[in-house]
Structure 1
Amino acid sequence: MSKSAKYALSDKIIDKVSELSEMIGNLKELSGERIVIKCGGELMDDENFLESLGNDIAILRTLGISVVVVHGAGSQVDRVLAKLKIKNDFFDGYRITDSATIEVVEMALTGLINKNFVKYLLKHEVNCIGLSGKDNNLITAKKIRRTQKDEGSNIERIIDLGFIGDPADINLEFFEDLLDNADLVPVISPIAFDKSFNTFSINADVLACYIAENIKATKVIIMSENYNIKSKDGIINGHIKPSDVNRLIENTTDYKMILRLKASVNALKNGVEAVHIISSEDKHSLLAELSSLNDTTSGIVICDNK
């Protein structure tokens, strides 16, 4: 190897070290803060994603950033319902969930996906605990009620979504013990009891934002394959203000994104600084997003300060 080649190699290493140093410096600005990460159910079969995310969360914890994870289970539930030949219908982005369906949802979310997620964190020596909203009444649910106008009239009929709920209460003392005293990363399955101890499924985006509001998290990071808003104006990404969200909601027919956007705006109204809806496609996309202090994003950032 020539002398010039050695110097060229050295320059490349110096550039990489410089980039790494800048990234760590940016991430350190979140030290002592709390973030909530939501992972879409479509990601839970992707071992490469889970491995990368486990590594990223380990780095965040090393830098003193508290992390809560909420996960979904959409695709896994779809597969099991299909095998069992159980009807699988949706309304406004919600799965209509009868007593047979809620058993499948809970099995997939809490029994399979949650513990598999915990495995990837433990592999990276992250102290963590897998929970559902049921554990120690971490989350209490309330039944969602929806209505729909009959076509051609103003008569509204009630749509029974079954065992689908919204978060109604949170065991904040227990949460604080997990984060501060036990120094754990809670990995939360969005299943909870209501006040009568019926089992309900909660939309994972809604739950992540609700938890963030209540534990005073700085950011919510929603990681998904569906990370752009598809509206009548085309595909929207980049930084947007909460005041722009209602217009975007009116221009999209993606009901799941509508739920996500509404939950995000509510979180911002209740003290969360920013909600990032980002791509899960690139390795270490979580660290890349959090370490960027400029306008760069792999998806959407909803915040007031842009």
Structure 2
Amino acid sequence: MGQACFVMKCGGSTLAELPDLFYRDLQKLQSEGMIPVIVHGGGPAISEILSKLNIETEFVNGLRKTNEAVLDVVEMVLSGKINKEIVRKIQQNGAKALGLSGVDGMLIQAEPVENAAEVGFVGEVTRVNAELLQSIIGLGFMPVIAPLGLDLHGQRYNINADTAAGAVASHLDVEQMIVVTDVPGIMNGDKRILPEVTVDKIDGMIRSGEIYGGMIPKVRAAVQCIQGQVKRVVIVDGKEPGILSRVLSGERIGTRIVKDVGAER
């Protein structure tokens, strides 16, 4: 890998609600030569526009069923509205950002997921153009990526943001990824934050009820980010002051999800 970078995944609605303090932390890291690569989602905003347009939407095993009409809205909302909102916010706080989707420069190549017959144009990542990202980083800009992909025939695909973030991190040889949410980490039934948990333990904790409710999709999403080179994901609350700088400096904050115990040795 060339210039130092780290990969951060965040939901579009979460990013919109984060205080300027968070964006100033991004600017500080960029000025110090640690360039963030941001992969964002936007599920709620997509659902809202689909509803306004009277386009039916449903989920199959957590993946949005995507036909061409849904795909048009996904691309419009992710690449247009949300991506540019994030770029504007970053630039308003003195940092340099460049927004793009996985379609641009064949950044994210994809193929249909296994159950494409059920979910339509939902893709899994086959390749990430890491050279393009390194070029953008080398120019001093932080890439802000909307998770769409393209196959070699030019077909667009809707890609789960967590899957896309994990693939981007892995292709950039990043071992740690930061997932910014609106909670301070994974909490158990006693409302205590779990400092570290392995992927293997998570299903058991969900079955036992130790991880429950709205925490389940956040945890499962973080697990999706652990692929390839990515050995751990840190879940943190974006409203905590200086949260990214603190994680990158080694402070144990939030919850670390590790591939296995050996990954941290």
Q: Given the two structures, how large is their TM-score scaled by the length of structure 2?
A: 0.84
Identical aligned residues as a percent? 27
Secondary structure at the residue paired with 1:160? helix
* CA deviation after TM superposition for structure 1 residue 282, in Å: 3.3
Structure 1: how far apart are the matches of 2:121 and 2:107? 18
* CA deviation after TM superposition for structure 1 residue 278, in Å: 1.7
| Structure 1 residues 118 and 259: alpha-carbon distance in aligned structure 2, compared to 1, 3 A threshold | same
Q: Could you tell me whether the CA contact under 8 Å between 1:142 and 1:168 is conserved in 2?
A: yes
5+ residue gaps, structure 2: none
Structure 2: how far apart are the matches of 1:97 and 1:208? 20
Give the AA of the match of 2:256: V
* CA deviation after TM superposition for structure 1 residue 117, in Å: 0.7
* CA deviation after TM superposition for structure 1 residue 35, in Å: 0.7
| Structure 1 residues 285 and 98: alpha-carbon distance in aligned structure 2, compared to 1, 3 A threshold | same
Aligned residues: 255
* CA deviation after TM superposition for structure 1 residue 127, in Å: 2.1
| Structure 1 residues 90 and 119: alpha-carbon distance in aligned structure 2, compared to 1, 3 A threshold | same
* CA deviation after TM superposition for structure 1 residue 161, in Å: 0.6
Structure 1: how far apart are the matches of 2:67 and 2:207? 30
Partner of 2:22: 53
1:302 equivalent to 2:260? Answer: no
Q: Could you tell me whether the CA contact under 8 Å between 2:16 and 2:86 is conserved in 1?
A: no
Structure 1: how far apart are the matches of 2:182 and 2:200? 25
1:185 equivalent to 2:142? Answer: yes
Partner of 1:33: 4
| Structure 1 residues 218 and 64: alpha-carbon distance in aligned structure 2, compared to 1, 3 A threshold | farther
* CA deviation after TM superposition for structure 1 residue 164, in Å: 1.1
Structure 1: how far apart are the matches of 2:177 and 2:144? 14
Partner of 1:206: 163
* CA deviation after TM superposition for structure 1 residue 262, in Å: 3.6
Over the aligned positions, Cα root-mean-square deviation in angstroms equals 2.7
Please point out which of 224, 238, 255 is paired with 2:181: 224
| Structure 1 residues 142 and 230: alpha-carbon distance in aligned structure 2, compared to 1, 3 A threshold | farther
Partner of 1:25: none
Structure 1: how far apart are the matches of 2:173 and 2:40? 19
Partner of 2:87: 118
Partner of 2:125: 167
Q: Could you tell me whether the CA contact under 8 Å between 2:6 and 2:37 is conserved in 1?
A: yes
Partner of 1:140: 109
Secondary structure at the residue paired with 1:113? helix
Q: Could you tell me whether the CA contact under 8 Å between 2:184 and 2:236 is conserved in 1?
A: yes
* CA deviation after TM superposition for structure 1 residue 292, in Å: 4.7
Partner of 2:52: 83
Q: Given the two structures, how large is their TM-score scaled by the length of structure 1?
A: 0.73
Partner of 1:150: none
Secondary structure at the residue paired with 1:286? helix
Structure 2: how far apart are the matches of 1:101 and 1:129? 26
